Chain A
Amino acid sequence: MAISFEPTENTVAAKEHFNSIAMEQMRPISRRYDENEGEVPTEWVEWWWNTGRKQTSGKLDGPSDGFIQACVQAEELCFGDAALYLRMPTPALGGSAVGAAGTSEQKVQFLKHFHADGGHPIWGAMAITEPQAGSDASAIETTAEFDEASDEWVINGQKIFCTAGKGSSTVDGGFTVVWATIDPEAGRAGIKSFVVPANTPGMELVGCEKKLGIRASDTATLRFENCRVPRDHLLGSAEVKKKDPKKAGDKGFKGVLATFDASRPIVAAMAVGVGRASLDFVKENLAERGVEIRYDAPPAELTALERDLMEMEAELQAARLLTWRAASLISKGRPNNLEASMAKAKAGLAVTRITQKAVGLLGAEGYSTKLMVEKWMRDAKINDIYEGTQQINQLIVARRILDYPSSVLR
C-alpha cells in the first residue's frame, strides 16, 4: 500500500449511479419542495422505497474503498438535493445508533422493516437536542425512569431539531432514538439512548421548524409525556458508572458520542456535494460567457474571478480529501475522532463560503430564485451547524492536538 488517489471501480460505479439518481430523480423536483416546505416529496420518497433502495450501485467484485464509498454516495445525492437526501426513507442516524450500540436482536427488531420487500416508506431518526441543550448534550433534561411493575421505561421531556422526526414519529414501522437520562444526578454517565417506535402513546409530534434551507427535510419537535417503551428498547447497558464522572464514568456517554465519528465524515461529504453543485454551476455558467480559469497565468494577470474560482476549487478539494481520510480510518477500524472533526470543521466552513461566494459572483442572477445557487447557499449553511457546530469541532480538534481532556479545555 502506498498513498493513492485512484478510486476503485466500485467507487467509480457508485459515483455514476448516485449521480444519475441526483440528476434524474432529485434535481427536477428540487425547487418545488424547497418552496413547499412541509410537503412530503411523495414521488421521491416512493421512488426510493420502491426502486432506488433496491438498486445496486453496479457492485462489482474486487477491492472497495470502504467507507469512502459511503461518502461518495452522500456527496452525489447532496449534489442532487441535500434536503431530499435527508428526507429519504432510511433508518438514518437512528440506524447508526442501533448499529453502533444495539444487540443483534435489537438490530433485527428495529431495522427489519427497512429491509422489507414491500410495505410503505418509513423513517428512522435521532432525537438529541433540547431547547436548552444543543452542543452540550450532557445537559439534556429528558428523563427515562424504569417502571418495575410494567417492565417499561417511561420517558418524559421535549426534543427539538430532530431531522426526519415527523416521519420517524408518525409512520408505523419507523422509530426515533431518544437520548434521555436515567439518573439526572450522574451527569453524562446517566445519559442513555432509547428506541421509541413510531406512534408510541405519549410521544407527540408538536410541529416542524421553518428553516433557512433544507426545507424539504422535516425538522421536528417531539414531546414525550409518560411515553412507555419496553425494557429491551434501551440501547446499551442500564448501568450508571458513577465513580469518577470525569474519567471512567463517561465511557457510556463516549460510546454514544462515538457515533459522531462515523456521521461527521458523512455530513462533511454532504456539504461537499452542495458546494460542488454550486461551484460546478458557476464555472459552467461563466464558461458560457468566455470565463475560463488559466492555471498557468502569472499572478499579476489573474482576474479576481479566476482567483476566486481557484480558491473555491482548492478549498472544496481540501475538504473532500480531509473527509475521505477520516472515512478511510473507519474502514480500517482505527480511531478517527480527530480526523472526523477536522473534516467536518473544514467542509462546513469551506462550503458555506463557497456557496455564498457563488451567489456573489453571479450578481443579481445569483440572488434570484430563477437559479439554484441561492438555494444551495441556504442549504449549505446547516453543514456548519448540525452534527457539531464549527466551534464544537474546533474544540475537539484542539483537545486532540493539545492532548487536553475536556476538563482542561472547555
Chain B
Amino acid sequence: MIEFQPSDDQALIAETVRQFAENEVRPQARTCDETGEMPAEIVSAAHELGLVANALPEAVGGGGERSAVTGCLIAEELAWGDLAIAVGILTPSLVGLPVADFGTDEQKNTVLKALCGSEFQAGALAITEPEFDFDVFRPRTTATRNGDHYVIEGRKCQVPAPGELPMLVTAMEGDALQAFLVDAKSSGIDRKRESNLGLRGLATEEITLSGVEVPASARLGGEAGADVRSLIVRGRVAMAAMAIGVARAAFETSRDYAKERETFGAPIATRQAIAFKLADMAIEIDGARLLTWEAAWRLDDGKDALREATLAYQQAQKVALTVSDGAVQVFGGHGYIRDYLPEMHLRNASGFASFEALSLV
C-alpha cells in the first residue's frame, strides 16, 4: 500500500534527531563554518545517540536497524542543523556501511567493532577526483594486482580527514570498479588540507596516491570484491536527503525572517513577490523529498534504484541550490552578510554538484 507516513519508530528517530539538530547542531553551525573546526563534543554526543551504530549489524555490536528510508530521515534532520557537522557525524558510515555490506569477516571485525565502540571513530572515503569530467563509476585512480598486494595510483579530493581507521579508496582494477581499505599513513600517500567554498567546518583533504602498496586482503570483500556501483547508488540517495535538509534549513530561515522584516509598514511575507517564492520553495522541497524517499524505499525493498536515486539526487541538488539562493534573496542585503545563515546554506548547497558517497544510508 502506498503510504507517506513514517512508521512510529521512524518518526521517533526523526524527532529525536530533529531535536538534537535544533538544540546541539544548529547553535554551532556558524562557528564551525568560521573556524573550520568540528565541535568534538557534538560529534561524541551523536555517537552516543548511536546514529551510525544503529544501522550496523548486531553481530559486531550494532543495532541491526539498517534502512535507507530511516537513514534519509536522519540525514535530512542532521543536514538541516548543519551540513558540515552532519557529515562530520556520519563519516563513520562512509566506511562502515560498505564494510557491513561487502566486507570480509576480518574487515568487519576490525572496522565495525571499532565503529560500535565507546569512542567516536572518524571514517574517510576517497571517491571524488579533482577533474571536471570525473566519472564516479570509472575513476582514473587505478589498482594493479602485483603478487600478494595491490599498487594504487591516483588523485582524490573531498576526502574527510582520516582518523585511526583505514580510509576507503575507490579505484579501477582493470575494467572493474573496486574499493580498498588503505592506511592513510602508508608510504606514497601525500595529504593536503583543502579549502572549499562550503562545508568549511569539515576538515577535508586532497590525497595523492603514488605507488601505494596495500595487501590483497585490503580489497573490500577480499577475493570476492564488492559491488561498489550499488554503494554509489545508495550514496546518491543519502546525499539527496542531505541536500533536502540544507534546502529546508534555508527555506525555514527565510520564511521566519520574511514574517519579521517589514517594508512599507508590513512584513515582506505579506507581499506576493516574497510569499510566492516561499511557496515555491516549500513545494519543490516536498517534491524532491518524495523522490528521495521513493529511491530509498526501493533500496530497502531490494530493487535496483540507479535511475530513481540519480533523478532524486539531481532534483535535490537543483532544489537545494535554488532554494538557498532564494533564501539569500529574501534576506536582501542581510542575506549576503555572514551574520545570517543563508549565505552559508548557499555555499553548502552548491557542493552537491560534486559530492558523491558510498552508501551513508
Binding site for B on A (CB under 8 A): 1-8, 11, 63-65, 68, 295-301, 310-311, 313-315, 317-319, 321-322, 324-325, 328, 342, 345-346, 391, 394-395, 397-399, 401-402, 404, 408-409
Given A65-B1, A298-B136: A3 and B10 within 8 A (CB)? yes
- Contact residues, B183-206 vs A (CB, 8 A): none
Which residue of A has the minimal Cβ distance to B137? A296
Given A394-B280, A401-B255, A409-B269: A4 and B3 within 8 A (CB)? yes
Provide a sorted-by-A list of 5 A–B residue pairs whose CB atoms are within 8 angstroms.
Answer: A3-B6, A6-B1, A298-B136, A322-B286, A402-B258
Is the pair B269, A8 in contact by a Cβ cutoff of 8 Å? Answer: no
**Residues on B with beta carbons closer than 8 Å to the beta carbon of A298:** 133-137
**Residues on A with beta carbons closer than 8 Å to the beta carbon of B298:** 5
Given A298-B136, A322-B286, A398-B278: A63 and B1 within 8 A (CB)? yes
Is the pair A68, B311 in contact by a Cβ cutoff of 8 Å? Answer: no
Most buried by B among A301, A314, A315: A314
| Distance from A234 Cβ to chain B, minimum over Cβ atoms (Å) | 35
| Distance from B292 Cβ to chain A, minimum over Cβ atoms (Å) | 10
Is the pair A2, B294 in contact by a Cβ cutoff of 8 Å? Answer: no
| Distance from A182 Cβ to chain B, minimum over Cβ atoms (Å) | 32
**Residues on A with beta carbons closer than 8 Å to the beta carbon of B276:** 391, 394-395, 398
Given A298-B136, A409-B275: A318 and B291 within 8 A (CB)? yes
Is the pair A68, B270 in contact by a Cβ cutoff of 8 Å? Answer: no
- Contact residues, B298-341 vs A (CB, 8 A): 298, 301, 306-307, 310-312, 314-315
Is the pair A395, B272 in contact by a Cβ cutoff of 8 Å? Answer: yes
**Residues on B with beta carbons closer than 8 Å to the beta carbon of A324:** 2, 4
Most buried by B among A63, A68, A299: A299
**Residues on B with beta carbons closer than 8 Å to the beta carbon of A342:** 282-283, 286
| Distance from B282 Cβ to chain A, minimum over Cβ atoms (Å) | 5
| Distance from B175 Cβ to chain A, minimum over Cβ atoms (Å) | 14
Residue of A311, A318, A325, A398 near B279 (CB, 8 A) is A398
Binding site for A on B (CB under 8 A): 1-7, 10, 69, 132-137, 229, 255, 258-259, 269-270, 272, 275-276, 278-280, 282-284, 286-288, 290-291, 293-294, 297-298, 301, 306-307, 310-312, 314-315, 353
Is the pair B272, A1 in contact by a Cβ cutoff of 8 Å? Answer: no
Residue of A295, A311, A321, A322 near B306 (CB, 8 A) is A295
Is the pair B132, A310 in contact by a Cβ cutoff of 8 Å? Answer: no
- Nearest 6 A/B pairs, CB to CB: A318-B287, A2-B7, A321-B290, A398-B275, A300-B133, A397-B279
Residue of A5, A314, A394 near B311 (CB, 8 A) is A314
**Residues on A with beta carbons closer than 8 Å to the beta carbon of B275:** 394-395, 398-399, 402, 404, 409
Which residue of A has the minimal Cβ distance to B274? A398
Instruction: Report the bound CA distance from A8 to B3 in whole Å.
Output: 11
Instruction: Report the bound CA distance from A154 to B137 in whole Å.
Output: 72
Which residue of B has the minimal Cβ distance to A1? B3
**Residues on A with beta carbons closer than 8 Å to the beta carbon of B5:** 1-3
**Residues on B with beta carbons closer than 8 Å to the beta carbon of A391:** 276
Most buried by B among A63, A301, A328: A328
Is the pair A402, B312 in contact by a Cβ cutoff of 8 Å? Answer: no
Is the pair A319, B4 in contact by a Cβ cutoff of 8 Å? Answer: no
Is the pair A402, B311 in contact by a Cβ cutoff of 8 Å? Answer: no
Most buried by A among B5, B133, B136, B297: B5
Which residue of B has the minimal Cβ distance to A68? B2
| Distance from A76 Cβ to chain B, minimum over Cβ atoms (Å) | 16
Give the dominant DSSP class at B's interface. Answer: helix
**Residues on A with beta carbons closer than 8 Å to the beta carbon of B7:** 1-3
| Distance from A335 Cβ to chain B, minimum over Cβ atoms (Å) | 14
Residue of A3, A64, A310, A408 near B4 (CB, 8 A) is A3
Given A3-B3, A3-B293, A409-B275: A311 and B314 within 8 A (CB)? yes
Is the pair A295, B2 in contact by a Cβ cutoff of 8 Å? Answer: no
Which residue of A has the minimal Cβ distance to B275? A398
Given contacts A5-B293, A394-B275, 11 further A-B contacts (CB under 8 A): A2-B5, A2-B7, A296-B306, A301-B133, A314-B311, A314-B312, A318-B290, A322-B290, A342-B283, A394-B276, A401-B255
Which residue of A has the minimal Cβ distance to B287? A318
Given A2-B7, A5-B297, A298-B133: A404 and B270 within 8 A (CB)? yes
Is the pair B314, A7 in contact by a Cβ cutoff of 8 Å? Answer: no
Given A325-B290, A402-B269, A409-B275: A300 and B1 within 8 A (CB)? no
| Distance from B111 Cβ to chain A, minimum over Cβ atoms (Å) | 27
**Residues on B with beta carbons closer than 8 Å to the beta carbon of A408:** 270
Which residue of A has the minimal Cβ distance to B4? A325
Is the pair B291, A397 in contact by a Cβ cutoff of 8 Å? Answer: no
Given A2-B6, A295-B306, A310-B311: A321 and B255 within 8 A (CB)? no
Instruction: Report the bound CA distance from A270 to B6 in whole Å.
Output: 27
Which residue of B has the minimal Cβ distance to A7? B2
| Distance from A299 Cβ to chain B, minimum over Cβ atoms (Å) | 8
Which residue of B has the minimal Cβ distance to A391? B276
Which residue of A has the minimal Cβ distance to B259? A402
| Distance from B274 Cβ to chain A, minimum over Cβ atoms (Å) | 9
| Distance from A336 Cβ to chain B, minimum over Cβ atoms (Å) | 11
Instruction: Report the bound CA distance from A63 to B278 in whole Å.
Output: 37
Residue of A3, A296, A402 near B278 (CB, 8 A) is A402
Is the pair A322, B2 in contact by a Cβ cutoff of 8 Å? Answer: no
